[in-house]
Amino acid sequence: MSAPPRRRPIPRLTVAAGGLCLLALLGTIIAIGEVLRHPYQPSEIPEDQRGGGDPRDEITCPEPQPREGQTRDTTGYTLRPIQVTSNELYDCPQTYDGQRVVYVGEVVGDLLARDAGVWTQLNDDVYAGDVGPLPAHRDYRGGNAGVGVLLPHELADQVSYVGGPQTRGDLFEVRGVFHRVDASGEVAVIRADTGQMVREGGSNPDPPLTDRRVAALVAMVVAIGVVGTERWVAARR
Amino acid sequence: MSGFATIGQTLVNDVDHLARSVNLWRHLMQFIGGQGIVIVVLTIFASAGGRIGYLYTGEGREEKILPNVIRTVRFIWRVALVYAVIGTTLLWLALLSAGMGPPTALYHGANLFMAAFDTGGFATMSSSVAFYRSIAVELVLLPIMTAGGFSFALHYQLWLGRRSELVRNIETRTIATSTLVMFTIMLVGLGRTGTFTDFFVMMRQGFFHIVSAHTTTGLATVPGRLYVTDWGVLAPAVLVTAMAFGGMAGSTAGGIKAMRIGLILKGITRDVRKVLLPEDAIVVETFHSTTRKVLSDTQVRAAATILLLWLVLYFGGGLLGLFYGYDLQLALFESTAAASSGGLSVGLVRPDLEWPLKVTYVAQMVIGRLEFIAIFALFGYLLAIVRGRV
């Protein structure tokens, strides 16, 4: 039995040409992606509004950090609720545990109705503020930041827009107690008892771009063509 | 890369307003990549034969699921699709009970299934599983993540009705033991720091995170920042260890893999027995993986070599994180999560992360996902092409 013939080495020129073709293909895909984007401009809102805190920042909590079951030093505490952000709550969960807080955020995701109330998420990141949600502009300012909130049913009934794709959610100010660990077993949530709408949300009016639909259609036809050709070639073998 | 490699870390700026089509695509990448990577690795093994096969022994990939790659691929996708139908339906029901509308629940359920079964860890919402505030959703996710951490070889044995394989297999034994040990340590850690005073809540949160980390899924029920500010030191260390260990070889999970850990532990046991027994005693150690096998020095050495490479990968990324001023805990957590495809995050990976760290984490994802031997083989092949020797 003779040994199989040894394959000839691939010429370097062919390898280089193949590499260049791959790079060109990648560049074309990126270029098409850029062309198909909405012609939004960055807003003029200052860059210092970030989506989340830098993990390198030193955390300084305003009060000692008592654990559950320990006596909390209430000297200097007032009955007025404390205005907090999600970053502050996560940086110092022991400090705010059991405290009445005021929290402002955009309703996002969904409203999950239960017997005890309605669970939702209120985001207080940069997209909930003046900049607005991302589909409507080209300001990329970090990830989301928010807190889970249990709204009373009557307060949840006031929500007209829930933030999501193409929708900016209502901005709500809620007052309630922050629980590092809630009685229901949920972690880092606010049980709100009162609240009010600060700003009504709305839908993003920008319609989908026509050339995107054309591109999607062309891509689909090409994909079907490639698969069909591959099947046809395989069947002929 | 994070999607196809089923890592679960994301640089998306505003996930909560992301278009449904884009979000679905993120999860589909995990579904394609999860099964795809197993097929790629099995194909490399099948085509490379003995030389790479020896090196893959350390990864427990010497066993074939079915006689040829095409039938194996068909089996893998059949398993994935059967799980997809069952898992998505159960998640849909759980999400309905959580208060979601039927269409939204189906969308979230399908995405959650792909993230859990393919041990990916992306989530439809920025707050991951915590968004749903539902113990029912968590209970459904636990077996799906576990199934994702199982090797397809084990799935095949179960498919054939050989349920005893679950008890006898070296990997299931190793994972069961390490899960139990790490869960206990985590409870001790969380108990010491007083993070949870209710034992049931501590069990719920602790077990979900152990399974999520051990299967390298990366779904979370608490904000990642709390691992640093509220979970003490021991519990996050356990999470890092669980992610580093990973799931089974030949599964969608990443990490060192239970097979290697099991083989190394068996090797240590054998050596200790050799020391304790008379000099002329013949010590034979065996392990069960589909069939009963005798442990060889070659297998232990290969497993130890790959283990060493994994540790270098974890600490290498951690060192760069330290260079950029992050705490050791954060840097090691995130590096391990990227390399092992663990996907849990303490907030270090974010859109405005320094670009060298982004590049490093992406490289870790590729190396960790394809495993070292495939990367070595790829570089060797490219080098040979450049030198005109292929």
DSSP-derived secondary structure for B73-126: HHHHHHHHHHHHHHHHHHHHHHHHHTT--HHHHHHHHHHHHHHHHTT----SST
Chain B residues near residue A113 by CB distance under 8 angstroms: 99
Percent of chain B with pLDDT over 90: 42
Does residue A111 have a pLDDT over 90?
yes
pLDDT, residue B78, reads 87
Span B202-258, pLDDT tens digits? 999 999 999 999 999 989 999 988 998 899 899 999 999 999 999 888 788 888 999
Q: Which residue has the higher pLDDT, B216 or A16?
A: B216
CB contacts of B193 in chain A (<8 Å) are 67
Residue of B nearest to A147 (CA): B127
Question: pLDDT confidence of A32, banded at 50, 70, 90?
Answer: confident
Q: What number is the average pLDDT over the span B354-378?
A: 84
Measured between CA atoms, how close is A121 to chain B, in angstroms? 7
In this predicted model, which residue has the larger pLDDT, B58 or B390? B390
Confidence tier at B12 by pLDDT (50, 70, 90): confident
Structure tokens at B189: 């850690």
Contact B351 A114 (CB under 8 A): no
What's the token pair of residue A114?
Answer: 């239960």
A217 Cβ under 8 Å from any chain B Cβ: no
Kindly report the nearest CA distance between residue A229 and chain B, in angstroms. Answer: 20
Which residue in B32, B24, B20, B11 sits closest to B111, CA to CA? B24
Distances (CA, A) of A117 to A144, B12, B223: 24, 31, 21
Residue-wise over A67-87: b if at least 16 C-beta within 10 A, else e? eeeeebeeeeeeeebbebbbb
β-strand partners of B228: none
Q: Which pLDDT score, from 0 to 100, does residue B372 have? A: 80
| A121: contact with B, CB 8 A cutoff | yes
Q: Does residue B6 surpass a pLDDT of 80?
A: no
A71 vs B263, more confident: B263
Q: How far is B347 from chain A (nearest CA, A)?
A: 7
Tell if the CB–CB gap between B130 and A92 is shorter than 8 Å: no
Residues of B in contact with A50 (CB under 8 A): 352
Q: Between B205 and A5, whose confidence is greater?
A: B205
d(CA B123, CA B130): 10
pLDDT number for residue B166: 87
What's the gap in Å between the CA of A125 and the closest CA on chain B?
A: 9
For A173-192, what is the mean pLDDT?
93
Min mean pLDDT across A47-61, B268-282, B307-321 is at A47-61
Q: Is A133 on the interface with B (CB under 8 A)?
A: yes
The CA distance from B354 to the nearest CA of chain A, in Å, is: 11
Chain A residue numbers with beta carbons less than 8 Å from the beta carbon of B12 are 143
Contacts of A37 in chain B (CB under 8 A): none
- The residue among B133, B134, B204, B390 with the most chain A CBs within 10 A of its CB, best to mutate, is B133
What is the structure's pLDDT at B48?
53
CB contact under 8 A, B226 and A186: no
CA distance B333 to chain A (A): 13
To the nearest whole Å, the CA of A6 is away from the closest chain B CA by 10
Of A69, A142, A180, the CB nearest to B350: A142
Please provide residue A162's backbone torsions phi and psi, each rounded to the nearest 5 degrees.
Answer: -105, 125
Report whether pLDDT(B63) > 60.
no
Q: Name residue A194's beta-bridge partners.
A: A175
Which alpha helices (DSSP H) does chain B contain, by range? 20-48, 50-57, 69-97, 102-117, 135-149, 152-159, 164-168, 170-193, 199-214, 225-229, 234-245, 258-276, 297-323, 328-340, 355-386
Q: How far is CA B379 from the centre of its chain?
A: 25
Which A residues 174-213 touch B at CB under 8 Å? 180-181, 184-189
Nearest residue in B to A70, CA atom: B194
Query: For residue B60, what pLDDT band results from cuts at 50, 70 and 90?
Result: very low
Are A131 and A140 a contacting pair, CB within 8 Å?
A: no
pLDDT tops 90 at residue B289: no
Strand ranges in A27-142 using DSSP code E only, listed in sequence order: 82-84, 100-113, 118-123
Taking an 8 Å cut-off on Cβ atoms, the answer to whether A135 and B17 are in contact is yes
- Pick A181's closest partner by Cβ from B127, B196, B223: B196
- Residue in B with minimal Cα distance to A7: B390
B98 to chain A, minimum CA–CA distance in Å?
6
Task: Report residue A203: phi and psi, to 5°.
Answer: -90, 150
3-state secondary structure of A178: strand
Average pLDDT, chain B: 86
What are the structure tokens assigned to A206, written together? 């920008």
Q: Are strands A171-181 and A167-168 parallel, antiparallel or unpaired?
A: unpaired
Name the band, by pLDDT with cuts 50, 70 and 90, for residue B318: very high
Q: What is the pLDDT of residue A4?
A: 65
**B55 pLDDT above the threshold of 50:** no
Q: Please determine, for residue B27, whether its predicted confidence score (pLDDT) is greater than 50.
A: yes
Asked if A127 and B351 come within 8 Å (Cβ–Cβ), the reply is no
Looking at domain A75-203, its CATH class is mainly beta
Asked whether the beta carbons of residue A68 and residue B132 sit closer than 8 angstroms, the reply is: no
What are the chain A neighbours of B10 within 8 Å (beta carbons)?
143
Q: Whole-angstrom Cα distance, residue A41 to residue A209?
A: 16
Of A4 and A59, more confident: A59
* Cβ–Cβ gap B350/A143 under 8 Å: yes
Of residues B19, B100, B225, nearest to A112 (C-beta): B100
Q: Is A14 on the interface with B (CB under 8 A)?
A: no
Higher per-residue pLDDT: A14 or B117: B117
Q: Look at B17 and A50 and tell me if their CB atoms are within 8 Å.
A: no
Residue A228: what pLDDT? Answer: 92
At residue B152, does pLDDT exceed 70?
yes
Amino acid, res. A223:
A
Q: Give me the pLDDT at residue B312, please.
A: 93
- pLDDT for position A50: 45
B126, closest residue in chain A (CA to CA):
A144
Asked if residue B378 has pLDDT above 90, the reply is no
Per the model's pLDDT, the better-predicted residue between B386 and A33 turns out to be A33
Q: CB distance B98–A112 less than 8 Å?
A: yes
The per-residue pLDDT for A42 is 67
User: Are the beta carbons of A127 and B194 separated by less than 8 Å?
Assistant: no
Task: Give tens-digit pLDDT for A35-77.
Answer: 877 777 666 666 654 445 677 777 777 765 555 445 555 454 5
Provide, as residue numbers in chain B, all residues whose Cβ is less than 8 Å from the Cβ of A168.
Answer: 17
Closest chain A residue to B13, measured at CA = A143
Mean pLDDT along residues A167-179: 93
Highest mean pLDDT among A12-21, A92-101, B86-95, B164-173: B86-95
**In the prediction, which pLDDT does A43 show?**
67
Cβ within 8 Å, pair B133-A59: no
Alpha-carbon separation of residue B269 from A234, B178, B283 (angstroms) = 52, 16, 10
Task: Name the percent of chain A lying above pLDDT 90.
Answer: 42
Alpha carbon of B322: minimum distance to chain A alpha carbons (Å): 11
Query: Greatest CA separation found in chain B?
Result: 71
What is the nearest CA distance from B335 to chain A, expressed in angstroms?
A: 15
Q: What is the ipTM of this complex?
A: 0.84
The stretch B55-82 carries a mean pLDDT of: 69
